[in-house]
């Protein structure tokens, strides 16, 4: 058994948050490239030749978008970095929120041409609620970008956090020359590589040298020096303790697609990101150094590898040591289970492991026991607070195209429900036809695609007019025609077509309690 204390201290577990199209999956690929985990980075443009490590699902490679979360574990020097990639599309925010429960810090990726966007703002607030420190990367400097000072001010004004540039961009778009490291006072000039797939060569220059002045022009060079002087005098010095308290975010600049600034950024992540942190549970604070093994399931995924066709539970280890073959307690069911086949996850690939430590994310074959939010312990009944659950806004009855409610149809519905791809409701009158609820259109499209491609079941969807979900907070049922349905945990919910209909129902029904989030499961 390795030295547990040393193993804990060398681990860093991070997630990347961004608005769609800010370059999140590309950034993940380039961090893998520079860590040495892969030797050539894939492109995220969509089409039959696209191939990235984190976007392993066929529909992701076809569309050039992330619709599932994945985990990658890489060694860099003496440190071990766990990168949890998240879906970029807002229809899959619930999956992203769950992933943020499993990390100790986050990378906020911003498009330097657009600044802070809606989805980034939402995810930033989740990080704030969880107490996760954030490192910022201003991406796409190889394209026309907004003024650096303007971007820093927007981060501060919109997100309420002090933005402290640790590097500074030299130009943007076709005039992007590289980055200036404020700590070492060195200018790093980058060169493009063939197809942007390999590590970019780096040369070090003088920010005040005549060579750079001649290259970017006298006016641009004068403005660059003035901006740097302004930053040095006006923006406070970076303090790591303030970063860990979420009072400030260090800001780095570059271009993930062309590899500019990535190596600098990777080193910053490893230097600044905290090691595994304690978690609050129903049994009190659980610290990584605690002797008892405690972990929790933050994601369930079926059919990651066509050779296996099984369900994988993604487990974040919180404390103690994990050993292959150990017997653990599943507090929700009260059952003991033997954890025989744990493995390290890298995109869709897997490798059996014998041990793991706090901060690690491991895969466990799911025999139908584990659900998202479950804890796994050695003996305690520690439970985590409820994971976020979003109220569906799109509903459809789902039928097998063949008309037969086959075993594979039922299996697909159940497994995709467990993953959180869909929410399943049933009508209170006992109608057996499942009612699918999702947050966004793309979720419904993914559900139909996976039913056909993974379970060999074409489906028919009968769309319904309802766009609002409210759970009943008491035994009083609505006095209107709004339908009452039962969710997958047996809780009653009411479906509405509009906010007006909700208000009307409340006015007509004395004592009616409607909840925007489901009550705690019994």
Measure the CA dihedral 39/12/375/55, to 10°.
-30
Give the three-class secondary structure for 456: coil
The H or E element containing residue 181 is: strand 178-181
CA 257, CA 262: separation in Å to the nearest integer? 10
Query: Which residues partner with 375 through β-bridges?
Result: 296
Residue 33 has phi, psi (to 5 degrees) of -60, -50
pLDDT for the residue numbered 308: 57
Per-residue model confidence (pLDDT) at position 39: 54
Residue for token pair 């992203």: 96
Enumerate domains of the chain plus CATH numbers.
4-272 (3.40.50.300), 279-377 (3.40.50.300), 394-515 (3.30.70.3280)
What single string gives the DSSP state of each residue in 97-141?
A: HHHHTT-SEEEEEEETTTBS-HHHHHHHHHHHHHT--EEEEEE-T
* Residue 266 token pair: 């990777």
**CB within 8 A of 516, min separation 6: which ones?**
391, 470, 471
Q: pLDDT tens digits, the chain, 522 residues: what are they? A: 568 999 999 999 999 998 888 888 889 888 888 887 665 554 443 443 344 454 444 544 444 444 445 788 888 889 999 998 777 556 566 778 889 999 999 999 999 999 999 888 888 988 998 899 999 999 999 999 999 999 999 999 999 999 999 999 988 998 888 888 998 888 887 676 655 555 555 566 678 888 778 877 888 889 889 999 999 999 999 999 999 999 999 999 999 998 888 988 999 999 999 999 999 999 999 999 999 999 999 988 877 666 656 788 999 999 999 999 999 999 999 999 999 889 988 766 788 999 999 999 999 987 778 988 999 999 999 999 877 678 899 999 999 999 888 999 999 999 888 888 899 999 988 888 999 999 888 889 889 998 999 899 999 999 999 999 999 999 999 999 999 999 998 999 999 999 999 999 999 999 999 999 888 644
Indicate the burial class of 150 (C-beta count within 10 angstroms; 0-12, 13-18, 19 or more). Answer: exposed
Contact present, 268 and 185 (Cβ < 8 Å): no
In the DSSP assignment, the letter for residue 255 is B
DSSP for residue 82: E
The CB-side HSE value for 484 (13 A sphere, CA atoms) comes to 18
CA–CA separation, 492 vs 508, rounded Å?
19
Convert 42-51 to b/e letters by CB count within 10 Å (16 or more is b).
bbbeeeeebe
Task: Give the CA distances from residue 239 to residues 165, 166, 244, 265, 435, in Å, rounded to whole numbers and listed in that order.
Answer: 12, 11, 9, 17, 52
**Concatenated DSSP letters of 329-389:** EETTTTEEEE---EEEEETTEEEE-SEE-TT-EEEEE--S---TT-EEESS----PPPPP-
Per-residue tokens: 282: 């129903």
* SS3 state at 505: helix
pLDDT at 64: 43
| Inter-CA distances, 305 with 58, 311, 360, 373, 508, Å | 11, 10, 21, 23, 52
Would you call 284 exposed, middle or buried from its count of C-beta atoms within 10 A (0-12, 13-18, 19+)? exposed
Determine the Cα–Cα distance for residues 434 and 426; give it in Å rounded to an integer.
6
d(CA 38, CA 161) in angstroms, rounded, equals: 34
Q: Give, to the nearest 10 degrees, the angle between helix 148-159 and helix 218-234.
A: 30
Strand pairing report for 11-18 and 105-111? parallel
């Amino acid at each position: 058994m390795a030295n547990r204390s040393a193993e804990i201290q060398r681990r860093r577990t991070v997630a990347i948050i961004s608005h769609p199209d800010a370059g999140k999956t590309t950034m993940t690929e380039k961090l893998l490239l520079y860590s040495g985990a892969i030797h050539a980075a894939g492109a995220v443009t969509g089409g039959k030749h696209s191939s990235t490590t984190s976007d392993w699902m066929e529909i992701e490679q076809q569309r050039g978008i992330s619709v599932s979360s994945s985990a990658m574990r890489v060694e860099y020097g003496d440190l071990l970095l766990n990168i949890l990639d998240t879906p970029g599309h807002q229809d899959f925010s619930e999956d992203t929120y769950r992933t943020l429960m499993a990390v100790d810090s986050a990378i906020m990726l911003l498009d330097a041409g657009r600044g802070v966007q809606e989805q980034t703002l939402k995810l930033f607030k989740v990080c704030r609620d969880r107490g996760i420190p954030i490192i910022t990367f201003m991406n796409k400097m190889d394209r026309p970008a907004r003024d650096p000072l303007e971007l820093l001010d927007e981060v501060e004004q919109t997100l309420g956090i002090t933005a402290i540039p640790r590097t500074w961009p030299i130009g943007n778009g076709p005039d992007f020359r590289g980055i200036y490291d404020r700590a070492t006072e060195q200018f790093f000039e980058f060169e493009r590589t063939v197809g942007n797939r390999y590590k970019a060569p780096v040369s070090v220059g003088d920010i005040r040298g005549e060579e750079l002045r001649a290259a970017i022009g006298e006016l641009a060079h004068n403005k660059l020096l003035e901006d740097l002087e302004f930053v040095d005098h006006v923006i406070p010095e970076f303090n790591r303790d303030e970063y860990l308290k979420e009072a400030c975010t260090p800001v780095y600049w570059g271009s993930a697609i062309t590899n500019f600034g990535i190596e600098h950024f990777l080193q910053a992540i490893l230097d600044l990101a905290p090691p595994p942190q304690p978690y609050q549970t129903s049994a009190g604070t659980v610290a990584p150094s605690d002797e008892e093994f405690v972990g929790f399931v933050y994601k369930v995924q079926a059919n990651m590898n066509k050779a296996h066709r099984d369900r994988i539970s993604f487990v974040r280890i919180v404390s103690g040591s994990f050993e292959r073959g150990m017997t653990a307690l599943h507090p929700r069911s009260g059952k003991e289970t033997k954890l025989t086949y744990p493995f390290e996850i890298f995109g869709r690939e897997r490798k059996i492991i014998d041990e793991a430590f706090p901060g690690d994310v491991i895969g466990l074959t799911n025999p139908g026991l584990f659900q998202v939010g479950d804890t796994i312990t050695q003996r305690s009944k520690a439970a985590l607070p409820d994971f976020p659950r979003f109220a569906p806004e799109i509903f459809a009855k789902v039928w097998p195209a063949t008309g037969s409610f086959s075993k594979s149809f039922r299996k697909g519905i159940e497994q995709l429900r467990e993953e959180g791809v869909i929410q399943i409701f049933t009508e209170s009158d006992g109608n057996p036809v499942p009612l699918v609820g999702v947050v966004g259109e793309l979720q419904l499209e993914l559900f139909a695609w996976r039913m056909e491609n993974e379970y060999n079941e074409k489906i028919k969807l009968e769309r319904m007019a309802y766009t609002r979900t409210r759970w009943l907070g008491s035994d009083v049922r609505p006095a209107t025609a709004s339908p009452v349905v039962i969710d997958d945990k047996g809780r009653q919910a009411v479906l509405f077509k509009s906010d007006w209909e909700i208000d009307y129902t409340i006015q007509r029904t004395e004592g009616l309690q409607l909840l925007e989030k489901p009550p705690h499961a019994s």
